Amino acid sequence: MSQLLDTKPASEDEIASPSPQWKTDFYWIFRILWACRVSVASALAGLLLFGLVDQAQNLFADRSFDDLLFGAHYWLSVFAAVFLVWAFPVHYGARRVLEDADSAWMIPYFLRVEMRDNDIRSIRDHVRRRYARVIAWTPRLLGLTPFVAVALALMGAQASIENAAILSEATATRDQLWALLALDAATAAAFVLFVVKRQRIARFVGASVDLQLLTDASLHVTTAVFVSALIWPFFLADHAPRALIVPFLLGSLVLGASWLVRKSYETGRPLLLGAIIVAVAITAANTRLDDVRTLPETSGSPKKDDRQIDIPEAIRNWKAANGCTESRCPPALIVAAEGGASRAAFMAATVVGHLIDRDGDLQDAPELTSPGRRIFAFSGVSGGAFGSATFRAALADAAEKGVTTPPCVNKARVWVGAHENRDPTASWRDCLQLLVSGDYLSPAFVGLGFRDNFSPRKYFVLDEPWMEDRAALLEKSWERHYDFVTNPAYKNDYWTGELIQTGEPCASGATKGMCRRLGYARATPPGKWTPLLLLNGTSVDSGARIIGTDLISTRPAPATHSRAPLYPAAYDFFEMVSTPCKTPKGDICPAAGDGDRDVPALRDGPDILLSTAALLSARFPIISPAGTLRAKDNATHGDRIVDGGYFDNAGLASGLDVARALKNEGITPLILWVQNDPVGALTDNTLPPRAAGTPRLGATGVSFLSDIFGLVAAPVDALLATRAGHAAEQAALAQRSLVEMNADTDRYAGDMTASFFQIGVRVQPTLVADGGDDPLLDKTCARFKGQTLSMSKVSMSWWLSQSVQADLDAQLCDKSNRRSLKDLITRLKQKLPLVKAVW
């Protein structure tokens, strides 16, 4: 109240003991910014997003629209949206609040109703005189902030590829970024000219500029966007993808929210807060919104007896596909794919695809033609789980067709190979990369920014949700992209020449690709082999692993005529959603085994698609919510599942469990760990190597900001870093366990006895152009002869720019990775004795 009085003409008492002017100025500047809080929040969110988040900066490195005509159309649309949908609402929303005729924002409502009109006018006139420039320029500067945010993103994207000139994609991206920076500056200049000189411009053109008309148009457009996001989410994601959708997310609600702020000042009621509370309450009341998607049981559904396979039966099928004799068999490979969104999936695709392309080196019998047959299982986490499910789908599609060629038929411009004229119909490496290179971020953005903020129950009263959440949109985006790449029915658009994606394949009855059901490994044709899936999530209630898998969670234990656990410390997804046993008080549940045979009827939970199974492991905030698991016929009981990286971001824990089961059947298990988190170059401060873990010393991380936010930042940083720490611990355990398990067969293995292999991503890889041991790699790495590569920031998102993809693709040329691949291929060629272990 004192600051309000300080704006009035000073009395003798006030002159005798004046209030410091800086306090008054601070109060009024703060009040001006608070009055514009919607615009301030939007502008600040843009600055933080584009200035600090690598994934947002990576959006402007998108070369999907490199065609001159359509590229110009797309990027002009992006900056038009920044101007009209983001910057203009931010400017005009703030201006309307500050320049309101009654200036209701100046004095709190509860004080204003008690004041005389003369006092109100006196305060209003004095504030408008003293702070005229602040009131005039605050909306203008806020409106200019989106262009500053975009400039920060462009400079950040530029910095990440400045030392990656040997990649043609990075060179082309650099030129594009400079052009976009110039376009951003030109659009910002046009915006400043418009808001400052609009009256002169109006007189020059002989017309009046009615900002209310623009406001009404903006409100109608943003309302249409909101309705579209609720009803047709993929329409918005398809027509405003990636960078184009960001202005809609940050600016579309600004005008409406600013109008609520004005009305709040006029009426003294917190209308904006009330609207937020209502939206949150309506969505919170929809307790089924984040349920994991399950398939309804119909008369045509597969029998549950055929779902999931016993580990001994799976091993027999694998041995048949790999030409094992009664005494000898090649090693079985388990691929552990580390978490990391699309980056993890792309890196795993590069490695797995290369191994499958080299299947010819492993052929020991002409009739054994199942691609990827040495791989027994994929153990994936988060993006690695998505990649694993995609690889399984592609290999299953090929096996059912009786072919060894990959299933890809259509290219997508989001894939780096499309710009290099690669043929995904002939190379598994290219096809698998293409299959995981889709834009999965835009649909998730639609759910995060629109759908999940106002998602009522059906008819507002029924139990089921009216619409699906952002997790389901992410799953469907995987399904749609796979179908787009593998479906020859898609035709070129007449105007653009590009293939147009339509519909939702799984909803239309498709049963291939990501529309396959998890768990039906027995459906693979006899003599063929499709690697099994171990998709690792984390229980919210217990912190334990939850595995979506093709394997039954127990194994036969003939010695005790019972069943033993396959995963001693993990839960099986299908068992968690099955019917709970109902027994009288004091009784125990029936045994899950009939002697050493499994009882499938006790695993009667509903089926899920491969896309849903992959997301069991990829529910990492903020893009994906925790998924709710509900017991069959008892919806009030269950659990919640989040990203598998909370427990083990490497996927090695489940892989090691299966490795032990393989060894129990006499098979020599190998594990390949595919990492994707970039490792920096060693610095001068690295300690000498030690027998124990050698610390890698970097910057302390102590700074002005870290001290300010240390109470929150340090624990969060530590929790995130433990993902890598746990992975390192699991890697050490896996390596040690494999050495012990395989000691009895290693004496037959010649010079190569390694059982644990790693492929990683390095900020500064040591590129080897012609190793002489791998013709396929020599061919792809020849372009790097005598070159160096360094990419400081390798974005981790559900979409990757082509320059990031190119960097990941080049990682196989790294000296360490080439050596690991060489050793692994050598090991997979061996025929080793079948020596069983003792559990």
User: Using H for helix, E for strand and C for coil, what is the string for 66-108?
Assistant: CCHHHHHHHHHHHHHHHHHHHHHHHHHHHHHHHCCCCCHHHCC
Distance CA 34, CA 571 (A): 50
Residue 12 has pLDDT above 50, yes or no: no
Q: Quick one: average pLDDT of 596-623?
A: 91
- Is residue 333 a contact partner of residue 828, using CB atoms and an 8 Å limit? yes
Residue 234 has pLDDT above 50, yes or no: yes
Contacts of 454 (CB under 8 A, 6+ apart): 230, 279, 282, 283
The alpha carbon of 709 is separated from its chain's Cα centroid by a whole number of angstroms, namely 26
- 16 or 484, which is more confident: 484
Q: Quick one: average pLDDT of 385-402?
A: 94
Judged on CB neighbours under 10 Å (0-12, 13-18, 19+), 556 is buried
- Is residue 678 a contact partner of residue 160, using CB atoms and an 8 Å limit? no
Share of the chain above pLDDT 90, in %: 45
Q: Encoding tokens for residue 788?
A: 């160096």
Q: Encoding tokens for residue 508?
A: 């239309």
Residue 112 has pLDDT above 90, yes or no: no
**SS3 (DSSP) at 117:** helix
Of 727, 621, 646, 718, nearest to 679 by C-alpha is: 727
What is the structure's pLDDT at 589? 78
What φ, ψ does residue 593 adopt, rounded to 5°? -135, 145
Q: Quick one: average pLDDT of 222-243?
A: 86
Distance CA 204, CA 206 (A): 5
Radius of gyration (Cα) for the chain, nearest Å? 30
What is the structure's pLDDT at 690? 57
- Is residue 571 a contact partner of residue 657, using CB atoms and an 8 Å limit? no
The CA distances from residue 774 to 315, 434, 820, 831, in Å, are 30, 23, 12, 21
Q: What is the pTM of this model?
A: 0.91
Contacts of 748 (CB under 8 A, 6+ apart): 830, 832, 833
Contacts of 355 (CB under 8 A, 6+ apart): 372, 374, 375, 821, 824, 825
Share of the chain above pLDDT 70, in %: 87
Q: How confident is the model at residue 243 (pLDDT cuts 50, 70, 90)?
A: very high
Q: Quick one: the chain helix, strand, coil %, rounded to 5?
A: 55, 10, 35
What φ, ψ does residue 686 adopt, rounded to 5°? -70, 135
- Tens-place pLDDT, residues 669-707: 999 999 999 887 554 456 666 555 666 666 666 666 566
Q: How confident is the model at residue 578 (pLDDT cuts 50, 70, 90)?
A: very high
Q: Quick one: average pLDDT of 624-649?
A: 91
- Is residue 24 a contact partner of residue 7, using CB atoms and an 8 Å limit? yes
Identity of residue 818: R
Identity of residue 416: V
